[in-house]
Amino acid sequence: MTHFDAIIIGFGKAGKTLAGDLDSRGWKTALIEKDKTMYGGTCINIACIPTKLLMHDALNGREYRAAVERKNGVIGRLRDKNYHSVADLKHATVYDAKAEFINDKEIEIELADGSKEVLSADKIFVNTGAESIIPPIDGDINSDKVYTSTTLIDEEILPERLTIVGGGYIGLEFATMYNAFGSEVSVIVPDEEILQSEDSNIRAEITKDMKESGINFIFGERAEKVTDEGGSKITVTLSGEREVTSNAVLFATGRKANTEGLGIETTTAVLTNKGEIKVNNHLQTDAENIYAMGDVKGGMQFTYTSLDDYRIVKSHLFDHGSYAYNSRTNVHYTMFTDPPYSRAGLTSEEAKEQGYKAAENSMPMSGHPRSHINNELRGLFKAVVDTETKAILGVHLYGVNSEELINTVKLAMDNDIPYTVLRDQMYNHPVMSEAFNNLFDI
Ligand SMILES: Cc1cc2nc3c(=O)[nH]c(=O)nc-3n(C[C@H](O)[C@H](O)[C@H](O)COP(=O)(O)OP(=O)(O)OC[C@H]3O[C@@H](n4cnc5c(N)ncnc54)[C@H](O)[C@@H]3O)c2cc1C
Ligand SMILES: NC(=O)c1ccc[n+]([C@@H]2O[C@H](COP(=O)([O-])OP(=O)(O)OC[C@H]3O[C@@H](n4cnc5c(N)ncnc54)[C@H](O)[C@@H]3O)[C@@H](O)[C@H]2O)c1
């Protein structure tokens, strides 16, 4: 049995960053990754990077197969760079193996040749991510025309017609991307509208623009059955018994924590009722030497929140836990549609429900000078502020460059900078951020 100071299970964002940090402190560390095509984790290989690259190429008119080829080249290089960023460390060893706990301090790994080995460590960090969920559906769910986000982006032939089940982040980003590549896209949304938790004007605007770009929505129905018709056709039967036939079906119906076969039940750590690893404010599980970071511990599923989980664990290990989960504020996000939608904080309805003296302002992007230069008049920016304290309570930015602009607003919110500062700031010209002069004129 080989003993380590630390074992990290999974090559996710938090884990690989922690590996580098521990190495600089002289810790002998093992990083165990079950899939050689996943060095660097989900983001690099099957999520953020490939999808945003394909979106970029789709919107810039590149042909689908050429974009998939470019994507494969880029992620291959990033995967190799990520592998070496850990494997070349002085005190770290990367194991190509599936890890399974056998108790709080020992892990059994199964190597590619089927042989088994036990590794032990004082501290163990679980960073195994999440995987796509396909809800219980009747019919030919194993058809080669049924895809998840992971498998669709590897398909080299553009589906002429694509049915997307689910109108969440993945559904709407893929609808934008495949529509721009030239597929005829239908999105099945079980609710009466997309994005129920977003501001109602913003979601109406996004829906209008997506429809105008040619995307077809079917609201208020669930996918219940898939039937492989043979040849290149597949049919989805909806709860209202309507049928949608296309050449490919993407299930964009959520993701679940990757804990299957991890042997958590052999440890003192426990799972929540959603199957995520239960952690405390320092991301420690019920076993005090085992931590969980990233998607596997539940909560918001983003690469940057996983990176921030590393900061929480580092703080607990080396700085008395001064930065903890409840130190994290105003977690923002972007949905990379065209144009993108970015949010931080509350909607005005939420702010009022929570008792704030809230006022809001909205600004159509068609009135902004930079929009005319960009030849992109779509978009709507909204801000919600507290009229008493002058605090920014929320921003909802649907428009060009919102994925960048949102970071400025989050910085202001995190540092209690009043909205009047963003209102009165001198911005250069002509740029998107000068929209804040008007947006915060409340
Ligand atoms: C299509 C898509 C697009 C997305 N786009 C964005 C985006 O634009 N921006 C953003 O911030 N987030 C995005 N996300 C979310 C983001 O990708 C994830 O939140 C993030 O990658 C999670 O990282 P992680 O640290 O939890 O672990 P991961 O990166 O998921 O790594 C977990 C690793 O553990 C390995 N593993 C699992 N079980 C075992 C085991 N038993 N033994 C050994 N290894 C194991 C896995 O193979 C994997 O490599 C997207 C997700 C998807 C699906
Ligand atoms: N830009 C980003 O940062 C980004 C992009 C993509 C994904 N992600 C991450 O990935 C996570 C998962 O995304 P997602 O879109 O898969 O999940 P989601 O939970 O956002 O959306 C899933 C949707 O599928 C619907 N659904 C479920 N069963 C259905 C059925 N039978 N028929 C029709 N619809 C059905 C649900 O009602 C829901 O609206 C996100 O929460 C996010 O954290 C992030």
Domain end among 207, 224, 253: 253
170 is in an annotated binding site: yes
pLDDT in tens, 185-215: 999 999 999 999 999 999 999 999 999 999 9
Domain end among 327, 361, 382: 327
Is residue 251 within 6 Å of ligand 2 at its C-beta? no
Helix (H) or strand (E) holding 23: helix 13-24
pLDDT in tens, 34-88: 999 999 999 999 999 999 999 999 999 999 999 999 999 999 999 999 999 999 9
Domain count, the chain: 3
pLDDT at res. 5: 98
In the chain, % of residues over pLDDT 70: 100
Burial of 85 from C-beta contacts in 10 A (0-12 / 13-18 / 19+): middle
Q: ipTM of the assembly?
A: 0.97
pLDDT at res. 1: 86
In the three-class reduction of DSSP (H, G, I as helix; E, B as strand; rest coil), residue 199 is classed as coil
Is residue 403 within 6 Å of ligand 2 at its C-beta? no
Tell me which ligand sits closest to the C-alpha of residue 30.
Answer: 1
Are residues 61 and 162 located together in one domain of the fold? no
For 280-336, what is the HEC assignment? CCCCECCCCCEEECHHHHCCCCCHHHHHHHHHHHHHHHHCCCCCCHHHCCCCCEEEC
* Mutation choice for ligand 1 from 36, 43, 75, CB with most ligand atoms inside 8 A: 43
How many Å apart are CA 82 and CA 74, to the nearest integer?
12
Number of the ligand 1 atom closest to the C-alpha atom of 10: 34
How many Å apart are CA 28 and CA 220, to the nearest integer?
54
Tokens of 435: 């929209």
In angstroms, what is the span from residue 305 Cα to ligand 1's centroid?
11
pLDDT at res. 114: 86
Number of the ligand 2 atom closest to the C-alpha atom of 172: 15
Residues in contact with 53: Cβ distance below 8 Å, sequence separation at least 6, in sequence order: 67, 70, 71, 74
In the three-class reduction of DSSP (H, G, I as helix; E, B as strand; rest coil), residue 213 is classed as coil
Are residues 51 and 84 located together in one domain of the fold? yes
Are residues 116 and 216 located together in one domain of the fold? no
pLDDT in tens, 152-188: 999 999 999 999 999 999 999 999 999 999 999 999 9
pLDDT in tens, 351-370: 999 999 999 999 999 999 99
In angstroms, what is the span from residue 216 Cα to ligand 2's centroid?
18
Are residues 112 and 191 located together in one domain of the fold? no
61 is in an annotated binding site: no
- Mean pLDDT of all residues belonging to the chain: 97
Are residues 261 and 298 located together in one domain of the fold? yes
How many Å apart are CA 199 and CA 302, to the nearest integer?
21
Under the banding of pLDDT at 50, 70 and 90, the label for residue 111 is confident
Tell me which ligand sits closest to the C-alpha of residue 79.
Answer: 1
Are residues 77 and 34 located together in one domain of the fold? yes
Task: Identify whether 429 is a catalytic site residue.
Answer: yes
295 is in an annotated binding site: yes
Residues in contact with 408: Cβ distance below 8 Å, sequence separation at least 6, in sequence order: 422, 433, 436
Strand partners, 31: 8, 94
* Mutation choice for ligand 2 from 52, 55, 169, CB with most ligand atoms inside 8 A: 169
Are residues 385 and 344 located together in one domain of the fold? yes
Mean pLDDT of 267-276: 97
Strands (E) in 137-294, as ranges, are: 138-139, 146-147, 161-165, 184-189, 216-219, 223-228, 234-238, 243-246, 248-251, 255-257, 290-292
Q: Which CATH number belongs to the domain containing residue 347 in this structure?
A: 3.30.390.30
Are residues 216 and 352 located together in one domain of the fold? no
How many Å apart are CA 79 and CA 76, to the nearest integer?
5
In angstroms, what is the span from residue 66 Cα to ligand 1's centroid?
25
How many Å apart are CA 56 and CA 61, to the nearest integer?
9
Number of the ligand 2 atom closest to the C-alpha atom of 170: 15
Number of the ligand 2 atom closest to the C-alpha atom of 301: 43
171 is in an annotated binding site: yes
Which residue segment(s) compose the domain that 417 sits in? Answer: 333-439
pLDDT at res. 34: 95
168 is in an annotated binding site: yes
Is residue 316 within 6 Å of ligand 2 at its C-beta? no
Mean pLDDT of 262-275: 98
Are residues 68 and 209 located together in one domain of the fold? no
In angstroms, what is the span from residue 135 Cα to ligand 2's centroid?
12
Alpha helices in 182-284 (DSSP H): 200-212
Q: Which CATH number belongs to the domain containing residue 36 in this structure?
A: 3.50.50.60
Are residues 408 and 424 located together in one domain of the fold? yes
Domain end among 201, 220, 253: 253
Helix (H) or strand (E) holding 59: helix 48-59
Are residues 33 and 126 located together in one domain of the fold? yes
Burial of 143 from C-beta contacts in 10 A (0-12 / 13-18 / 19+): middle
Are residues 341 and 388 located together in one domain of the fold? yes
Question: Comparing C-alpha atoms, which of 171, 177, 206 is closest to residue 189?
Answer: 171
